[in-house]
Structure formats: C-alpha cells, structure tokens
Structure 1
Amino acid sequence: MPFDGLTITALSYELNSHLVGSRIDKIHQPEKDELIINMRGYKTTNRLLISANARWARMHLTEEKKENPSQAPNFCMLLRKHLEGGKIKSIQQSGLERIVHIRIEALNEFREWKEKILVCEFMGKHSNIILLDPENNTIIDAIKKYGSDISSYREVLPGKEYIVPPPQDKLDIRTADFAAFVQKMWDQEEDTSIYRALFATCTGLSPYSARNICQQAGIPPLRPIGESGEYELSRLYEKTRNLVFALQSGESSPAIQWKKNEPFEFTPYFPAIDNPEIKLSEYESMNLACSTYYESKLQQIRFEEKKRILTKKVKNKLERAYRKKFLQEGDLARAQERKKYKEWGELLTAYAHLYKKGDLEAKVYDFNTGEEITLPLDPRYTPIENAQHFFKLYNKGRGTERHLRKRMQQNQADIHYLESVLVAIQAARSITPILEITEELEKEGYIKTKKKKPGQQKKKSSPQRSRPHRFVSSDGLEILVGRNNRQNDWLTLRHANREDLWLHTREIPGTHVIVKLPPTISSIDEVPDKTLQEAAGLAAYFSKASEASKVPVDYTFRSNVRKPAGARPGMVIYDNHWTINVNPRAAEIQALLAQEEADH
C-alpha cells in the first residue's frame, strides 16, 4: 500500500501520543534523502525515521541501525545546530494530506527558546524534508533544494517563503456533506469504476485503500459509477468517514499482507481479503507495521541487488575462464602437433645418407605404415642438422604441453568452482548467504575486498551465519543441504558423522547433501529407498542441473569423503560410491521444498 493519507493519520496519532515532550539527542543522515532522529522521553528512547526517497517516502519509529557517513551532510549538520537538545511540541498531519508538521522548540544561538517546524512531505518523487522558521514562514533549509528552473509553482531554497504543495481537487470527507460527496462522485465518467471514483473524490485515499473501502462496504470495486445509486454511495460515504474518524482517534487495526513470505501490502485497518494466497498479520501499532513492512521490503531489495551484482561478477569471471579454456585447447592442439617432429627427426636420421646439404626436401618411408612422407629441409643445413632441429622442436613442444596441461587443469578447477558458486548464488533466498559467498570469494581472491575510505566506520561482521537447508524425509530422517561452498565444507567435514550418508551430483557443480542416519543403519542397502530418492532429488535440485529431468547423483558414506590439501572450498574427493538417477522436479521434491517454505 502506498504511504497514503490514511496511514499518515494513524501514524500521526501514535507519534503525537508517544513523542510529544521528548528531547532530541542526535540527528543522523544515513542516506542522502533519509533522517534518523534519536529522542529521549520519560524512561523511553525512540528513533524516528523520516525518508524523502522517491519510491520509499515514509515516517515511522524504527529499531534498525544503519551505518552513517564519516562526514555528516550539510543538511544534517544544520538540523543538529537548530534542533538538537530541542523538545517535540506536536506532530500533526496537514488535513488528510501526505504532509506532516513536527513542531520543535529549541534554544537558538542567543539561548532563547524558539520554535522550528520540520515539514515532511511524502509525495513520491516530490517528497521532501524542509526546516521552517514559523515566525516569517521562511525556509531555513531542505533535504532537496530546487529553484524556478525545476518548478514554476514554488522554490524550495533557503530564505524563500514556504509554499505548500499544490492542493488536489478533492474533498475532505470529514467536513464534506453527503450531497457534495455524491455530486463529486457522479462528476466522474460513467464507466469509471466506483473505487477509482472514490479515489478521485476523497483526499487521503490511495487506489488500494479506495478499493478496500468498497469491499468493506460490500460494493464491487469495479462496478461503474454510472450504475451506482445514492444507496451505494451513502454506504461508501459513511464507511469512509467512520474509518477516517476512527484512525484520527487512535482506533487503528494495523495489518500486513504477506504473499510467499514477502510483505505485499500494509494497512492501518484490517482489510477485506479474498485471495487464499495472502496471509494477514496484525500488529499492535501502525509504527510497528510500517517498520516491519519497509525494513523487510528494503532488505529484500538490497538482497536482490547484491545478488544481481555478485551474479554478474561471477559470470564475468566464468566467461573469462571459458575463453581461456578455448584458447588453451587451441594451444594444446598445436603443441600436440609437435609430436610429429620426433618422428620426422628419427626418419631423417635413418635416411640422412641419401641426402645432402642444400636439398629442399627428403622423401622417406614411415616405419609403421610404410607410406612415403615428404619432409621439408632447410637447405642451409645438413640432413643431420635438420634432424636435430626437428628434435629441438619436439622437445620444446613437449615442455609447452606439460606446462599447458597444468594451467588447463587449474583453469578447469576455477570453472568448476565458479560454477558451483553460481549455483549457490542462484539458490540464495536471503542476504546472509550472499554475504557469506562474497566473503568466500574475497578470501579465495576471485573478487577484491572493498577498501575503507579514511575515517569510514568499520562494519561489524554479522554474528549470525546462515544454517543449511533442513528437510525431513518421508521416513522421518533429517536431510541437510549446504547453502554455499564454505558451508558445504562445514556440513560434510565437521558436522556430519562418518556413518551419515553423503550425496552430490555426479560431475555436475552442486551442493553437498547429508542424511543423518541412525546407528541401526550400517550398510547402504539399509538406507530407505524413499529417503534416498528425496535426498538425491534435493542434491539435483540445488545443482547446475536443476532444470534437467534426469540427473545422476553419487552417494556414499561420509567416511569415504575427504578433502585434498589446498583444495578450494566445497571441493572434495570420494570413493566406494553408488549412483542414482533422479528428477529434481519430481512431486516429492517439490513437496519437500514447499514444506521448508511453509516452515520458514
């Protein structure tokens, strides 16, 4: 749901109730368009977030702690000068508009108590945070400044008079009588849906809230306004008025709608939902609902962005490795061609007595096939010297081939490793595994560690590591699946018992899978078939071959798995194994994945 007037009505009531009288301790500006105001009240401390972000403009209390720049921006420094140490006098919404006035009384440079107003405008790309001097209604400063070259309606610059944003041609449902409401609704085109007409009529509504009010009033939101009479409009009128007055009085019922474990919408009232895929969560305050929604939403966006960037970096590394492999294969083919020089040298040595210095070629017979071969000769040298030259070319090619094969082996190991990393990135569903994979790649030297700017605060490393995927098989056995290569090492080499079952896709980049076996199972034949199928299916699903219909998966006891010295993360060798072919898209695998999703 957009941060509309109804949400601001509910928030303003809560913020005014909780923050009036609080003293401003510290002001931070972690983002170019975002403020965090730390306040201290009677036995309470609060952090008020105000954002003028074009997409995520909002205001609510928050517990989230963000990294601040080492050098505070100018607007932040100015707010500290004017507002720190001051007291909150009131927090009021301007009508039902998306504008909030925070009145603050603070000491000026002459130690006199003076009132300032922090105007918060939440209007999409036009959102702003403006500090006013109410004595002459002038702008002291703003987080976004612009002049007449940007807006012909108003200038937002220090010293200029503050002009409120242009009013909308809508009614304030609190003061508008029913006749005015009906007339405004019927002024819309006849085929306009009734919820769109309601949105165009009343200040403070978003299309989403207008649609929901229609549903709560028992009126189909898509019904054309031309087919709606006074009876339907009277129900809408009363429903909208009652909702606004309830929110003004603090009678909100905040809720978040979740879809596939992601926040979908939030409302200051309990909405009417007719979608079985949507789950509702109620919250004790509008601030908590907003904080939960936005922090979860923005965390998901940050995750997706980090995932996209990391995927691009790994794919670039892979593309270079693939090109390197192609070139190396060409070099190898040419190096292998040099083997003929040994044969040429031997043949020319055998037939040297038939030729002399100055000859351009020698016709000899292959010892193995008996076929005639024409050898090119350098006329400057004797046949024996030409033969020695052939042997030198052969020896040079042999050394080149030996070193080339070693480099090809190293490059192929890079390809296999990076492909396994790409599988782990694509399977990541939260930011923690992405950060772990980034750390792994930095330690392995595949990507550079970002250098800290002078004076920049050092980020605290996350104390909480991701845990492996956990499933329970149809036979009740625990199945653990690694999320990245370092976790694969931990899962296989440290966490698993030697008697547990270990699985991995055969010669295909993928993750490690462990089935925790009870002591009663001592041989492979005793592992339940259903569990084996499910564990192998998970190994195939979390691999490069996840889209295939038939994937070979090796399995063996953990005791048969070991890690060579110096091997990259996730790289192991194993023996005494068996192979099973599975379909990662089989119904039982999808059921296990759905089970984990539901548990999450």
Structure 2
Amino acid sequence: MSMDILSLDAVVRELNGLLRGAALSQIHQPGPSELVLRLWTGRENLRLLLSVDPRASRLHLTAKKLPNPQAPPRFCQLLRSRLTRLLAIERLPAERIVLLHFAGSEKSRWTLVAELLGSHANLVLLDGAGRVVDTLLRQPQGPRPLLPGRPYLPPAATNRIDLAAGLPEIPALPFERWLLEQITPMTPLWAAELAAAAACGEVPAQLLGHFREQWLAGDFSPCLLTWQGRPLLSALLPQYVEIAGLQRFASMSEAADAFYGEASEDAVFGSGKGELEKLVRKASQRLEKRLANIAAEAERGQNYERQRQLGDLLLANLYRLRRGLAEVTVDDWFADPPAPVTIPLDPALSPQENAEACFRRHRKGKRGVEHIARRRLETAEELDWLAGVALAIDEAETAAELQALRQELVAGGVLKPPARPPRRLPAPAADAGLRQALSPSGLRLIWGRNNRSNDQVSKSLTDADDLWFHAHNLPGCHLVLKREGRREIPEADIQYAAALAAGYSRGRDDHKVEVMVVEGRSVRKPKGARPGLVLAEPMRTLVVRPQRLPEASAEKNEG
C-alpha cells in the first residue's frame, strides 16, 4: 500500500530538518519505479528512496543497500547531469505530491516532483521556469499529458477541507464517513480513531481540534501496528481503536523502511504466499475439472471401433440397401453369438455413402481418442507441475523466492505478466535455490527448493553414477547423492538421503513415505517438459520416515 498523507507529511518535515542544503553525491535507479539519492549532509551520507511503484509509492530514508545497475537508465542519467544540491523539500497542500528543490551548475534551479499517487505515481523533473524536462514514466496521453517543454500542471485539486486553513464546522453527518470524505489530511485509521473517541463521549469538535494541533505541531509518533487484521504504517499512535503488534520507531523514515522492507512484503505488496497459493489452487481446480471432462469425452468416444464394424456390415449387405431407407436390420457376425442388429441410415445418401459415413465416424473417433490421450497426459503433467509449485510456495521464506515462483507461473501461462516489471531484487547466486548437506559417511547431498532448482539438480548436478531420489507419486524435491568416485555407497547413506527426499516432499508430515532411488543415467528430462518434470526408471523404492534438517544445518542458498 502506498504511503498515506499523514505519514508522507511526517517524512517531509523530518527530511527538511536533515537534508536541507545536502550535497547530492550519487543517484542510481535500482528498479524501473525507484530512485535512490545519496546525500552528504556534512556529517553523514544518507540514502533517500523515492518509489513510484503503484502498489507502494513512497518517500523516505533507507538503510538498505539497493542494487546499482552498471548502465544508468535514461531518467537517472538526466538527473545526474542536472542536480548537485538539495535546497528544500515541500509537500503541496492537501496532496501526496512532494517537491524537491535542487541547485544545479551555474546557479540553475531544478525541481523534482514526486507524485506519490498510487496507481498514478510518477517522478517529473522541472526546470527553473516550471516546465517539464522529462518524466520517469512518460505519459504523452491522458487528461494531463506530461511532455517536455510544457508547463507543469499538478493533478486537479481535491474538494476536501484542508485542516491547515482552520477548523471547519462539523455537519450532522456520520462522523467517520465525513472525516474520510471531506477532511485532509486524514486516513481510514484516524477517521476510525476519532469516531471511536466520539462514541466514548468525547466532543467531535474538540477531537478534531486536538488532532489538527498535534499534526500542525509535528507531534508525531512513528509506528507500525496491525489494525483490522492488516499491518499499517502510522505517523500517530491511536488510543481508542483496537490494535495489535505495535512497534515504535525514533523516526518516520525508520518506520517506513521497516514497513516496506522484506518482512512486510506479503502484506504491503500483495505478492506473498497467500496470493500465490490461491492462484495455484484455482489453476489446479480448473485442471481437475478438465480431466473429468476428458474422461467423459473418452467414454463417449469409445464406440468408434463399432462404426467400422457397422460400415463393414453395410458393405456386405449393399444388395439389400437402396437410397431412401432410414434403417436396415442385418446379421451382426461381430457379435458372439451372431445376432440381428439395426443400423440407422441417412435416407438422402446412397448405400455406399452410408457405409462411408460409418468409416468417417470411425476415423474421426480414432483421432479423437488419440487427441484425448494426449490432452489427458498434458493435463496430468501440468497438475504435477502445479503441485511442485504449491510445495515450493509452502517452503518459500524470502521475497526473492516468491518472485521467482511468480515468474515461473507467468512463464507457465498461469499468471498474466505484470503491466510494469516487478521490483528488482538482489541477483541470486549461481546455486540459488539449492540446499546441501553431508551424508553419514561424508558424501554430498544436494536438493532443490522449487521446480527450477530441481531441474538444476537433475540436469546439471546429477552424474551418471550418482543416486537420485524423489518421493514416489508425491510432489517433492529432486535430491542427488554424489558418488564422488566411490564404488559402493553405504546403505546408511542411501537411507539418510531417502529420508531427506521424503522430508522435503508433500509427505513431510506422514509417518512413512515411499521414495524412489534411481541411478543418474536413468534420469532424463523430456523435450519441452515443464520445470521440475523428469522421467526416471527406479532401481528400487524405499519406505522411510521423513526427516528434515534444522535450518542452521542445511546449507541454504536463498533465491
């Protein structure tokens, strides 16, 4: 969720005290919707993050070291060439729009406008005359085109009552709704807080007046809290509404940095486990319904061979047929024992044409059966793939892992690609997504955390003489036990590897799980198969108790 107007106001006041007059030492663009400005205050270097991500547009200092691409994008290059020192920061009255005023070379002046308006968020660079130089997200069309050389026009002003202008009279309307619809600055949390206080007997005018005085004085209490089941960033601490999980911070930027960090990604960006689990569950239900339809279609098409028999019977009885007959009864020698059968005819066709119609239905039915078999196999493989994705979602622990799974679902056609590229996360290591451990005798064990890392295990890390493990008929990891030159592998190592393969499968909570043991040379990936799907010929199967390692004991490489 994007930063609300109260939090933004608190950040702007905080930044004005810290950054006014700071020298701009570096600008980089870690992602398509983010800029980081590194500023030297004379005492310390601070990083100012500006994000126009439609899910979380915001402005605050950050302690996180975000990636700095080697080749700066277009807008980043422009800012580097123009801006040298931050002069002041201001928020437009009643708006989530922040103006960052900069000095440039030869006494030039520039303004970076941060329109932090959720789905309409953007960054706009203006020259000293207030004309648009360029924008981060170009918008040549629409009700307010932002084009180079044109005067900058802010969005149309809202018709809300700005508390900065004074305290309004409170009409005879539901207090909470009036606050939300007519007053600025206001948030849903604080409209509910003031309404709850009024319900306890407090005078609404006095409540609103106290809120206004606290806001104008900058008497903020930056915090994170949970309200109505949702985590929130708040500039003020409520007292009347029921909250949970309260965390207080020394500054608004620290609170925002924590809120928009990885730990809150699921709730803030709406791209966590819950969303993906629901998506995969719905896709699996569609495929299961498709399988049921395929089975019904296969049942209907089972009589195609009978059409060939009827065609043969008609050809053998042509002398009894003539155009215009609606049916004919002949001896069916295909039955055991032979018995009369009545064959429907098309009166408009000749006897030979009626026989050919039977053969045509036979050929069509035969093709249909082949098509049904292919569809059934493809659907079953897609269900297996989704089962692997569901397990990987359940096992995922970081935002990067979830983003990789989203990308896999996009590539698999289950999820539509985002209108804008996703937030850039740190580049994974070459062995990202793998777990490693040692067997009892010291042999290496490597297994995947998701479909793509399972592919890496099976295709790249499994040699012909290695042993490969997978839970039988269950979604789970691909695990390889490296032989490393040994002729014989101790049975204890094989049992241990099988137990881990069971532990990192959907059967991890079962008492016993059957696990396949396969030589590496017998594992192959069919051409065009989805990630995580391979063919393997088991040497044998083992029934083992699932086992997982403590996270500190498993050498995890996060994706």
TM-score between the two structures when normalised by the length of structure 2:
0.57
Residue 50 of structure 1 and its aligned partner are, at CA, apart by 3.5
Q: CA RMSD in A?
A: 7.1
Match of 1:113 in 2: 107
Residue 270 of structure 1 and its aligned partner are, at CA, apart by 6.5
Could you tell me whether the CA contact under 8 Å between 2:94 and 2:185 is conserved in 1? yes
From 84, 87, 91, the equivalent of 1:86 is 84
Match of 2:102 in 1: 104
Could you tell me whether the CA contact under 8 Å between 1:60 and 1:290 is conserved in 2? yes
Task: Summarize the Cα distance change of 1:269–1:469 in structure 2 as closer, same or farther, 3 Å threshold.
Answer: farther
Match of 1:266 in 2: 233
From 254, 259, 266, the equivalent of 1:293 is 259
Residue 539 of structure 1: SS of its match in structure 2? Answer: coil
Corresponding position: 1:228 with 2:202: yes
Corresponding position: 1:60 with 2:28: no
Match of 2:9 in 1: 8
1:27-176 superposed matches below 5 A: 36=35, 38-39=37-38, 41=40, 48-51=48-51, 56-61=56-61, 63-65=65-67, 72=74, 80=79, 84-93=82-91, 98-107=96-105, 112-120=106-114, 122=116, 139-141=130-132, 158=151, 168-171=161-164
1:363-442 superposed matches below 5 A: 366=333, 369-373=336-340, 409-426=373-390, 428=393, 432=401, 435=404, 438=407
Could you tell me whether the CA contact under 8 Å between 2:159 and 2:182 is conserved in 1? no
Match of 2:514 in 1: 555
Task: Summarize the Cα distance change of 1:536–1:6 in structure 2 as closer, same or farther, 3 Å threshold.
Answer: closer
Q: Give unpaired runs (5+ residues) of structure 1.
A: 177-183, 215-220, 349-354, 377-385, 451-457, 471-479, 543-550, 581-591, 593-599
Residue 222 of structure 1 and its aligned partner are, at CA, apart by 0.9
Structure 1: which amino acid aligns with 2:35?
Answer: I
Match of 2:187 in 1: 206
Task: Summarize the Cα distance change of 1:227–1:321 in structure 2 as closer, same or farther, 3 Å threshold.
Answer: closer
Give deviations 1:273-303, integer Å, cap 9, x for gaps: 98686363x5565334324434656776474
Q: 2:294 & 2:182 partners in 1: Cα distance?
A: 66
State the structure with more CA Rg.
Answer: 1
Task: Summarize the Cα distance change of 1:374–1:327 in structure 2 as closer, same or farther, 3 Å threshold.
Answer: closer
From 477, 485, 488, the equivalent of 2:451 is 485
Q: 1:92 & 1:47 partners in 2: Cα distance?
A: 18
Could you tell me whether the CA contact under 8 Å between 2:60 and 2:257 is conserved in 1? yes
Task: Summarize the Cα distance change of 1:190–1:49 in structure 2 as closer, same or farther, 3 Å threshold.
Answer: same
Task: Summarize the Cα distance change of 1:35–1:12 in structure 2 as closer, same or farther, 3 Å threshold.
Answer: farther
1:216-365 superposed matches below 5 A: 222-224=196-198, 227-228=201-202, 236=210, 240=214, 244-245=218-219, 247=220, 254-257=222-225, 264-268=231-235, 278=245, 280=247, 285-294=251-260, 296=262, 301=269, 303=271, 325=294, 329=298, 333-337=302-306, 340=309, 358=319, 360=321
Residue 369 of structure 1: SS of its match in structure 2? Answer: coil
Task: Summarize the Cα distance change of 1:9–1:364 in structure 2 as closer, same or farther, 3 Å threshold.
Answer: closer
Q: Give unpaired runs (5+ residues) of structure 2.
A: 322-327, 344-351, 418-423, 437-445, 482-489, 545-549, 551-557
Residue 224 of structure 1: SS of its match in structure 2? Answer: helix
Could you tell me whether the CA contact under 8 Å between 1:191 and 1:226 is conserved in 2? no
Residue 418 of structure 1 and its aligned partner are, at CA, apart by 0.6
Q: 2:240 & 2:458 partners in 1: Cα distance?
A: 46
Q: 1:413 & 1:309 partners in 2: Cα distance?
A: 24
Task: Summarize the Cα distance change of 1:426–1:334 in structure 2 as closer, same or farther, 3 Å threshold.
Answer: same
Residue 22 of structure 1 and its aligned partner are, at CA, apart by 1.5
Match of 2:175 in 1: 192
Could you tell me whether the CA contact under 8 Å between 1:23 and 1:85 is conserved in 2? yes
Could you tell me whether the CA contact under 8 Å between 1:145 and 1:157 is conserved in 2? no
Structure 1: which amino acid aligns with 2:196?
Answer: L
Match of 2:442 in 1: none
Q: 1:205 & 1:368 partners in 2: Cα distance?
A: 84
Task: Summarize the Cα distance change of 1:227–1:342 in structure 2 as closer, same or farther, 3 Å threshold.
Answer: closer
Task: Summarize the Cα distance change of 1:449–1:97 in structure 2 as closer, same or farther, 3 Å threshold.
Answer: closer
Q: 2:35 & 2:296 partners in 1: Cα distance?
A: 55
TM-score between the two structures when normalised by the length of structure 1:
0.54
Give deviations 1:229-271, integer Å, cap 9, x for gaps: 69985995699369724x5xxxx6x4434799x9821234677
Structure 1: which amino acid aligns with 2:533?
Answer: G
Identity over aligned pairs, percent: 14
Task: Summarize the Cα distance change of 1:541–1:273 in structure 2 as closer, same or farther, 3 Å threshold.
Answer: farther
Task: Summarize the Cα distance change of 1:7–1:564 in structure 2 as closer, same or farther, 3 Å threshold.
Answer: closer
Residue 579 of structure 1 and its aligned partner are, at CA, apart by 9.0
Structure 2: which amino acid aligns with 1:103?
Answer: H
Q: How many residues align?
A: 488
Give deviations 1:514-543, integer Å, cap 9, x for gaps: 899xx997999x99xxx99xx69972699x
Give deviations 1:530-576, integer Å, cap 9, x for gaps: x99xx69972699xxxxxxxx99961464599645638433455586
Residue 438 of structure 1 and its aligned partner are, at CA, apart by 4.6
Task: Summarize the Cα distance change of 1:118–1:564 in structure 2 as closer, same or farther, 3 Å threshold.
Answer: closer
Task: Summarize the Cα distance change of 1:423–1:267 in structure 2 as closer, same or farther, 3 Å threshold.
Answer: same
